[in-house]
Amino acid sequence: MRTLPVIPFINVGTSFILDRKHQDFAAAGQDATALITTFPRPECTIYLADAGAIKEVTTSRARFPKPIKLYVPLTIFGKNIVASEGEEWKRYRKIAAPAFSERNNKLVWDETVLIMLDLFDNVWGDKSEIILDHCLDITLPIALFVIGVAGFGRRVTWTSDLTIPPGHQMTFKDALHILSTNLILKIALPDWAKGATKKIRRVHLAFDELGQYMLEMVNARRNADTKEEHYDLFSGLLDATQEDLGSEVAISDRELIGNMFIFLLAGHETTAHTLCFTFALLALYPDEQERLYQHIKGVMSSLNRMPTYEDMSRFTHSLAVFYETLRLFPPVTSIPKEAAEDTTLTVGTADGGKTTFPVPAGTEVALHVPGLHYNPRYWKDPHVFKPERFLGDWPKNAFVPFSLGARACLGRRFFETEGIAIVTMLVSRYKIEVKEEPEFAGETFEQRYARITAFKQSLTAIPLRVPLVFKRR
């Protein structure tokens, strides 16, 4: 969301990082640039698009810690693993890490397959084609259902989520989506202004509703008549609230809710937006979609049954498509760090050389994810959708949608498992095409690509409108 239009020398807008990709680095002749702001106070942010420098920053946590002050907006429900550093972060990670195990990844796969079958059998049924004005209409609920059941033991079906439960004014899905895509409104405006417009009132209602839903989830698990053994993320967080306060793994109820929100946010929005971009790209590149389909068809026919988690490694092309989408449209476009001491960094230059520059203590240093992902030093034809680049050797340090180092995404395997299962299941049964609309009849491929992949920047890159048709194979 842009709060101001792009104004040269005054406001670059919030989407400039993904808009400009590697362009500013190419103009500078090196893989580091600086953004200098003068208001409200003079500041300099160094952006990096050099794989070696980025690896150095992400693996040198003492020299380049996470600037926690920038993450305060994510603590609206309480402290959490994303908005923490040092010993506090280690405590949260120790609590959450066991949930991202092979046992739970298998649960993710199994539940995702069931959710997709429910979509095919009970929603789409025997329709030969399904027309969607925006692909997010299916990827948002799919992602929510998966994180709900595999992360929090909350099973929701395609039909049950249409009903607002007693005591609520909106569904769980709507509350989470409205708040996450308009978080800046909740954070930036004081409480006395929350009734200023219909949209602001709805965002504040979503905040209250989501908080109520999360409390209900906590109370339902705590007060269950039958105490079942769970292995999900929720159980680890909930168990930590039962520890003695002096324990190194104890958390308060507010920290519990804060971490529930951050994992719901990451597991819902990030996945939904990436899947939406994935289906958009497959529709825009039918030859690549056909290659993926033939690969899936070959693997599935050799299995002669529904794929299991143990078969996941066979679907190499599905993973390649997912990775290529993450390269082109990384959910998080900038990963901030801060220099804790006077130091230096070295980056590559356009002529193949190196340049070293000073980084004073207190300087913000940001990983420019699109700058790295579109850097021609690492990726041939970086603007082209070419999933096969991930089928052979590829530059792993130049691919950072999950960040790198100790602070890399804890739920990466969860995310990949879910994504591979969804893409595989859907492409095996449906051909994806861009919805034809008369007003766009004469557009070129470049114009269509720009339209279908248009986005706005909030916490993540959000697809604006992806009209697609799913045709039964």
DSSP 181-221: HTHHHHHHS-GGGTTSSHHHHHHHHHHHHHHHHHHHHHHHH
Structure tokens at 232: 């999900």
**DSSP character at residue 310:** G
CB-CB contact of 234 with 151 (8 Å): yes
Distance CA 280, CA 283 (A): 5
Residue 65 CB partners (closer than 8 Å, separation 6+): 85, 86, 337, 338, 340
According to DSSP, the residues that pair with 129 across neighbouring strands are 471
**Which of the four pLDDT bands, split at 50, 70 and 90, describes residue 2?**
very low
Residue 4 has pLDDT above 50, yes or no: no
Mean pLDDT of the chain: 90
Q: Which helix (H) or strand (E) holds 357?
A: strand 354-359
CB-CB contact of 458 with 184 (8 Å): yes
Residue 64 has pLDDT above 90, yes or no: yes
Collapse the DSSP code of 329 into the 3-class scheme (helix H, G, I; strand E, B; otherwise coil) and give the result. coil
Instruction: Report, as an integer, the average pLDDT of 458-470.
Output: 93
User: Sign (positive/negative) of CA torsion 345, 58, 366, 327?
Assistant: positive
**DSSP character at residue 270:** I
Q: What pLDDT is stored for residue 382 in this prediction?
A: 98
Residue 122 has pLDDT above 80, yes or no: yes
Collapse the DSSP code of 468 into the 3-class scheme (helix H, G, I; strand E, B; otherwise coil) and give the result. strand
According to DSSP, the residues that pair with 33 across neighbouring strands are 47
> HSE of 335 in the Cβ direction (CA atoms, 13 Å)?
26
Distance CA 149, CA 232 (A): 9
- Amino acid in position 304: N
pTM: 0.92
Distance CA 158, CA 170 (A): 16
Torsion, Cα 231 237 238 244, to 10 degrees, reads 120
